[in-house]
Structures are given as C-alpha cells and as structure tokens.
Amino acid sequence: MNRARPDPIIPDHEVLRKIGGGAYGEVWLARGVTGALRAVKVLWRDDFEDERSFEREFEGILKFEPISRDHPGLVNILHVGRSPDGKAFYYYVMELGDDVIAGRDINPVEYEARTLRSDTKRTPGSKLDTGFVIDVGVRLAEALRHLHDNGLAHRDVKPANVIFVAGRAKLADIGLVAARGQRTFVGTEGFVPPEGPGSAQADVYSLGKVLYEIATGKDRMEFPELPDELPPGSERKRWLALNQIICDTCEPHLSKRRLSTAGDLAEALRRLQEGKRRRRRRPVGAFMALVLCAAVVIYGGWDHLQTLLPPRLPDKPELQPVKIKVSSTPAGATVIDESTGETIGSTPTELIESHVGERIRFSLKMLGYEPCPIDMVVPESAAGGTLFLSPELKVYAPPAINEPWTDQLGQRYMPLNEGHEAVRPVGETEWRRFAEGKPDAYAEFVEITEGDTKRKVALTSHGDAREFCFWLATEGIKQGYLSEDHQAEPHMVEGFQAEGISEKARNEGLKPFRPYVSKIPFGTLSVRAEPSGAEVIVKVGDVEVRRSEVSGMVELSGIKPGEMEVSVWMEGYKRSVQKLTLKPNETRDLFFKLELNHSVVMDRPWTNSLEMSFVPVMPGDLQACIWETRVKDFSAFLRAAHPEIYQVEKPGDHPVVHVKRSDAMEFCAWLTKVEREQERLTDAHEYRLPTDYEWSFMAGLKSELKVSTPDRREQQMLQIFPWGVAWPPIANGANLGNFAGSEAATNPGMSPERVIFGYSDGFATTSPVGSFPPNAIGLYDISGNVLEWVQEDYIPNNGFGVMRGGSWKSWRQQDLYTGFRYTLTPDLPDDACGFRIVLAKVPPKEDTGPAESAIDEDG
C-alpha cells in the first residue's frame, strides 16, 4: 500500500532523494555536515503489523550497529536514530555504495547503487566470472560468520542486498537483521529455505542461492538446473567444484545439507580459491554431484517431486560436534561437570565431547584458589574443531584455624589464640615494599642472628607498625590471602635488645613487631526508631559503613568495633544522632524517637527559604526548581557572601545573567549550608547544578544514556524541540518562550537577520520567570530566556562547559533543539548565561577498604 509521506528529517543530514525502497523501508541519498554522501535507510512504523514487530527490528539494528564496523564484508552503519517524535520511523545512516556506472565518482542526481542484481541485469542470462563468484562468496560467507558469531541473522540475503563499496562486495540492507531464532516470516521467495528464515543455516542457504544465480545466470527458482553451456577447458573443473559447493549448500533437506554453517561455506570456497582440494566428510565426486543435481530437472523439478512424497515433519538440525579441552593457570585444578556432579578430571583435561549449541557448566576447584565457574553455550565458530578454555585461577588462601599460614609477602605464621602471629619480626625487605611512596613511614634497621643466618629487622613506632598492618591486610584481601572479615595488628617485641640500636630509636621507643592476623570481632547494633520507616546510618569518621531502613527494629551485624556515629533520620523530621564506642563482640541496643520539623520531603513539591519552588523530577532522588535562578535569589547570596560586589541590575523576578559556572556552584554550596543550619535540609540533601543527563530528563529526553558524556549524547540528537516539532515556536496562537524575536533586534549589536522571522514575544532581553507556559512536569523556561549551566564539560576535561536550553538571543532552530549543547568556557560570563538548580540526595561516602583495627592498643 503506497502512502504519501513527507521526506524524512535526519539530524545533521540534508536528504536529497529516495534511491530505493521495498516492503521494509526506503533508502534515501543524503549529504552529511562534512559534505560526505551517505545512504539512509528509513523504516516506517505503519509498515509493520504491530508495535512489537517494529521494536524488534529496531533492537536488531541497535545490536548490529557496532558489529557492522568490525568486518570488511558488512556495510558500515554510522549512526542509528528515531524520527523527531520518536514514533513514526527509525533510521540508520550507512556508507554509500559505488555507482553502477561511475564507481566512486558519484553524481547525486544520477546515482544508482551497484549491486549484484545490477551486475546480473547488465548481462541477463549470462553467468559471471567464476573467480569473481568465488571471491564474492568468500567475503559474504565470512561476513555471515561474523554476524552469526554475534548472535544475529540477516534474514534477507539476496543479490539486491549485496552492494559494492570501492569495488568490494558487502552485505547491505540489514534492516531485517535480528536475534537468531526469530521466526517472523521475512525474506524473499526462493532465497528462503524450506525450514523457514531466521536461523544461521537459513542465511547460508540464501547465500548459496545467490551464488547459484551469479554462477549460472539463472533464476534461483530454477535451481538446480544447469546453464546451457559450461565453461570451456580447465575452467570447467573449477566451475564444477563451485557448483558442488552450491548444491551442498542449497540441498532442500536440512539433515542432508553438507554445508550449513557460514564457516564451512567460507572454508570450502577459500580452498577452491587457493586451488586446494576440499575437505569432505565422505567422498562424492564433483561430476556425480552434478548428475544428482541435474537428475532433479529430469524428473520435472524439485517442486513437482515434493508433491509425490508423503508429508513428514521437518528434519531436526544436525548436531555439529565439538571437542573441548579445559586448561587452567596454574594447572592441576579439578574439573567438575556441574550439570551431573561428576568429576571430569584435572587440568589440562583430555578432549571432551560436545556439540554446537550445547550449554556447558564446569567448575574448576583447587586448594588455595577460588572456585572458577565456566558457564557458556558452545559457539558455532567451534564447529568441527576444538574449543580451548583456559581461565586463570584467583588465589584464595586465608588462614585456617590451628593451621600454619603464609601471607602474600612470604611471611610464615603460626596459630596463636584465635588468630595467627608471624613467626619472626618484619624485616627490611617487607618494610621497604610497604614504604614505597610513603615518605612519612619511618623505621630503622638492625641486624640480628636467626639460627645460622643474619637478617635486618625493622624498628618502628606503634603507629607506623599499625599502618604496616593495615597495608598488609588491604593487600592480602586484594590478592586473595585474606577475607574481608580479617584484620591485622602489630604485636610489638617488648624488651628487644641488639647491637646497633641508635639513640633516636632508644629515645622514641622504636621496636620490632610481628603482624597478628585474626577475624574481626564484629559487634551488632540493634536499632529501634519511631516513626517506622526511618533510615539509620552508621559512620566511622566521615565514612559511611552501613545504611538501612528501620521498620520497627533492625539488627545491623558485622559492625567493626570502635568509635562511631549512629544517626537516624526521615524526611520531614529532625535528624537524631548518638555517638558511641562499640566493644568487640558487643551487641548494643539503641532507640531513637524523631521530632517533626519542616525539612524537605523529596517526593513532594517544596518551597525553600528563598521562596524558590521545586517539583519532583525523579521522585525520592531529585527535585528541580521550576524557575531559572532569579536576580533576587542570587542577590541574597551576594549580600551574605560577597557584600563588596553586591549590586542589582535587573528586577528581582528576572533570571540572573553574567554568571560563571563557578558562581552558580558557589551559590548552590552557600544555599545548602544555610538551609542545613536552618534544619530545612539534612546532610543527606544538597543543592547543585543538574548533570547533563538530568537536564535532558527534565526537558523530556528520557531516551538518552546516563552512562555517557555530553558530546556523545549530542551525536544522537533528534530534531525536536521541548514543545514538539513545530516551527516557529507558536502553539494555538500563543508564544512558547522568550527567544530572539523581533524585539531582540533593537538591542545594541544585535543584527536584524539574527531573529526568528515573524516571531514576537514582547521582550527585548530577558523576561520575568514564568512568563510562558511550563513543560509537562511544571518547569518554566526550559527553552529560552537564559542558557543554563550543567555540571560537566562538553568532553571530559577539555575546558569547555555545557549550557542547555537556548536563550533570549537564540534564533537558529538547531540552538533550540532539546538535545543541543551550547559550549562555553566556564569562566566566561555572558548576558545570556544563567542557571537552574536542583535539590538532590547526597551520594554516601562508602567504606572502600578494610578499616584499621579499632580495638584499644592495650586490648
């Protein structure tokens, strides 16, 4: 069904003309911002039966996009995106193929892509050169193998979808690429195998039919009919070998199909290309295969023959054998088959029988090392070969009760009480490894005799000995010699005497020490709070070590003994704090009764001390001010923090301008401090600038990736405004924001050409906040009035900040696209630079390693 559609809008591209189309999309010629010509495939939503089918195809192209650039036999996908409304269509931008006549010398007006279909049309009924066919087959088979190894299937391999770039064949029209196994019937009649599309085997069958057409000059529906004339002389033998490969690939019965993987087909064709004999499972002469193929024609064709056969179920795919060899570093690990519980052997193992597609679950176990799981599906790339698995085992050798132990430094320990003590004091070698990069760590070294040998031991203070033990425990945990439950502390060697001890060492009491390793004697906090639903936070110093919700009562076990602060808070209530010292193995009962106050509750609208109004954006985690920061808000900050520069230039309800990013951040820090002192905020809340991602979310761009950077997000920018796709920014006769209308041209230095034609908003510069309609979540001026600073640089650490949202100076459409990023040096203020603040939860400072032993030195 033909539909009248507008030309698609593709960001950063000038769409020139449609150059192709079919049931699953249109191909357009476009010119990018660099001037390079590109092909753009557009797939419309209303060409699909339902939303799920449309989204499934989009998911396929998203998976294919990074894969496409990793193989020379695939047309490169340069960018994937959606229509400005996010619904009408999706598109992808590709490298442009050669012109059918002029090659790479492309004239946009006359351009027609060179494909295998166009090559065959130029000499209808004639076969192409055998060497050319083999070369194309090798490239496309290798491309399919790459595609299949990444879990995708093409689903529409045919001559029209093989395009030439710089004279080399590539698989194109990957709009139908999807996860292998999707059985939606797509593809082209005659190229789809009897068992249906969507599998790796189906793609290989389709490629075989492509090779049949170009090798014989016949239509794929005529397979396996031979051409009227075979190549003469020595070329005939090569052609017959190629035909044998095609017959083995296009056998209708899957169980009898000798070439059903892309890897097998690529190998067979490459050996033919190199003049080598083909590896065969069982010998069948090329001439005999030719006779078998021709026999089908004699009996009236395969389609007629099938009508004479009784119906039967489809053949099951042949399981392709694989050998697996499991090794490890170090060798000698026991290999257990987790699916059966049986022990296979030790590494390196003998060859293990398996098949492509089979799930294997092994576990490697070895004393002194962590168990190493192997859980995977045998890949198709291993078919007919050996899958070699050789993981590196991670050391895990913590001390065992009543057993000698050796740490990562090679120091030996013997059991003592509930732990292990080093057999001898820390020596010069161990100390110097610890002291690298620690100029404040001080020790002297004295030679002592141990049995028949002499060595130098370290004499140090108790404090530096504790630092050594903390380092020893930290490194031990990293390297697998200790668990997170272990600690190390020094046992000082009292009464030590030896020759060569300096006066400084005697005066300062420097002594040797032996590390003592033991389990941490954890304590438990039993916390009750009213009202229920509050949050308890345990801190050691400034480091948060535990956080939990108190629903009636909560037990926090595994708390390291020592001094700590326990606080309980709930939004809308005053924080309650208790400081205590938890003893080893102690259980401490704590009760908190919270007092109601007027502090912020993050999932409700909020008005702060400056009468700035906030609404939840990400309920519970983020609120945004509905206005850009006003002159009167910033003036309060200047009066308090910088009275020497305080002055008022504009009415208080206009957004403040001439603001550097550092000024905006200082305002946020000041306001946070003030309102924490007023107990409007707790130390779990802070004012700050939004991140680039948060600003996009506030403006309605919820599809951008959080784990990315502003420059990369802008690469995915859609040509859509915060109000939609209308231009100029007028809806139902009402202006939608303060932009560069006709009034802006009256300002000194403003050119009459740099305004939005036909637009008048009534303001020559800034307007009072809230003068225009808010967006869907209640934010005013998310587009227009002033540019708004966000936290990040455009490219990390490149020195250019990011501003969002356009301003009263903005007149170009691109400046007002929601995804556009305006870049500016952060310390360069401008009369269009302002900011909007958010109220956010403070991310906790988490414990990043084992804390030093909190047990009293005497205990």
- The reply, when asked if residue 673 is annotated as ligand binding, is no
Please give the average per-residue pLDDT across 731-756, as a whole number: 87
Q: What is the mean pLDDT of residues 527-554?
A: 88
User: How do residues 406-430 score in pLDDT, each as one tens digit?
Assistant: 999 999 999 999 999 999 999 999 9
Average pLDDT over residues 813-839: 93
CB 855 within 8 A of CB 562: yes
Residue 87 has pLDDT above 90, yes or no: no
Whole-Å CA distances, 302 to 187, 315, 754: 21, 17, 71
Q: Say which residue, 312 or 454, is predicted with more confidence.
A: 454
**Architecture label for domain 321-389:** Sandwich (2.60)
With H, G, I as helix, E, B as strand and everything else as coil, classify residue 414.
strand
- For the chain, residues classed under CATH 2.60.40.10 are 523-593
CA distances for 571 relative to 67, 542, 600, 609, 682, angstroms: 48, 21, 6, 17, 8
Among 825, 795, 790, 794, smallest CA distance to 805 is for: 790
Whether the per-residue pLDDT at 312 is higher than 70: the answer is no
Nearest to 475 by CA among 415, 554, 410: 410
pLDDT of residue 619: 80
Tell me the average pLDDT across 48-59: 81
Residue range 767-802, pLDDT digits in tens: 999 999 999 999 999 999 999 999 999 999 888 999
- The Cα–Cα gap between 822 and 802 comes to 6
Q: How far is the CA of 132 from the CAs of 168, 248, 286, 495, in angstroms?
A: 10, 20, 20, 90
pLDDT confidence band for 4 (50 / 70 / 90): low
Q: What is the mean pLDDT of residues 383-401?
A: 91
Q: Which of 387, 333, 400 is nearest to 358 (CA)?
A: 387
Structure tokens at 311: 């119906």
- Which contiguous run of DSSP H or E holds residue 147? helix 130-149
Higher pLDDT, 25 or 476: 476
Please report the pLDDT score of residue 382 as a whole number. Answer: 87
**Helix, strand, coil tally for the chain in percent (to 5):** 25, 30, 50
58: left (phi over 0), alpha (psi -120 to 50) or beta: alpha
Mean pLDDT score, 510-519:
96
Examine the pLDDT at 854 and tell me if it is beyond 60: no
Band of residue 64 on the pLDDT scale cut at 50, 70, 90: confident
Grade residue 162 by pLDDT with cuts at 50, 70 and 90: very high
Place of tokens 């009072």: 768
Per-residue pLDDT for 548 more than 90?
A: no
Q: Which stretches does DSSP call E strand in 100-145?
A: none
The burial class, CB within 10 Å (0-12 / 13-18 / 19+), for 285 is: exposed
DSSP state of 230: P
Residue 221, token pair as written in the block: 């529906």
pLDDT, average across residues 613-637: 94
* CATH number for the domain formed by residue range(s) 13-308: 1.10.510.10
Q: What is the mean pLDDT of the chain?
A: 86
The pLDDT assigned to 578 comes to 95
pLDDT of 430 reads: 96
Distances (CA, A) of 279 to 203, 258, 282, 481: 22, 11, 9, 52
Residue scoring higher pLDDT (120 or 458): 458
Q: For the beta carbon of residue 229, count every other beta carbon within 10 angstroms.
A: 8
- Residue 419 corresponds to which tokens in the numbers above? 């732990």
- For the stretch 245-297, pLDDT in tens is 999 999 988 778 889 899 999 999 999 988 877 765 444 444 444 444 444 33
Confidence of residue 24 (pLDDT cuts 50, 70, 90): low
Residue 538 has pLDDT above 90, yes or no: yes
> Do 209 and 250 touch, CB atoms closer than 8 A?
yes
Name the least confident of 128-132, 193-197, 592-596: 193-197
pTM > 0.85: yes or no:
no
Contact, 617 vs 623, CB < 8 A?
A: yes
Q: Are 829 and 538 in contact (CB under 8 A)?
A: no
CB 806 within 8 A of CB 831: no
Give dist(CA 818, CA 803) in Å, integer: 12
Res. 159 pLDDT band, cuts 50 70 90? very high
| CA pair distance 408, 415, nearest whole angstrom | 17
Q: What is the CATH number of domain 523-593?
A: 2.60.40.10
Whether residue 679 is predicted with pLDDT greater than 60 in this model: the reply is yes
Our CA dihedral for 748, 754, 756, 761, rounded to 10 degrees, sits at -10
Instruction: Look up residue 502 and give its DSSP letter.
Output: -
Q: Which helix (H) or strand (E) holds 466?
A: helix 462-479
Averaged pLDDT for residues 814-828: 92
Q: Write out the E strands in 482-612.
A: 486-492, 513-519, 523-530, 534-540, 543-550, 553-559, 562-569, 576-582, 587-593, 606-607
Radius of gyration of the chain (CA): 37
pLDDT tier for residue 813 given thresholds of 50, 70 and 90: very high
Q: Confidence class of residue 857 from pLDDT cuts 50, 70 and 90?
A: very low
Cβ atoms within 10 Å of 237's Cβ, excluding its own: 12
Region 167-172 average pLDDT = 90
pLDDT of residue 455: 93
Task: Name the 3-class secondary structure at 140.
Answer: helix
CA distance 698 to 805: 11
- The label of the residue with tokens 């960001």 reads 11
Mean pLDDT value of segment 627-644: 93
Contacts of 75 (CB under 8 A, 6+ apart): 68, 94, 95, 97, 163, 165, 170, 171, 172, 174
Q: How confident is the model at residue 318, as a pLDDT? A: 62
Cβ atoms 208, 198 nearer than 8 A: no
Residue 740 CA to residue 757 CA, distance in Å, equals 9
Q: Dihedral sign for Cα 324, 328, 334, 340, please.
A: negative
pLDDT of 339 higher than 90: no
End-to-end CA distance of the chain: 86
- Cα–Cα dist 820/826, whole Å: 17
What was the pLDDT predicted at 439? 87
Share of the chain above pLDDT 70, in %: 91
Question: According to the model, what pLDDT value does residue 815 have?
Answer: 92
Check residue 282 and give its pLDDT: 44
User: CA-to-CA distance for 350 and 240, rounded, in angstroms?
Assistant: 41
| The predicted structure's pLDDT at residue 305 | 38
Q: What is the pLDDT of residue 302?
A: 40
pLDDT given at position 280: 54
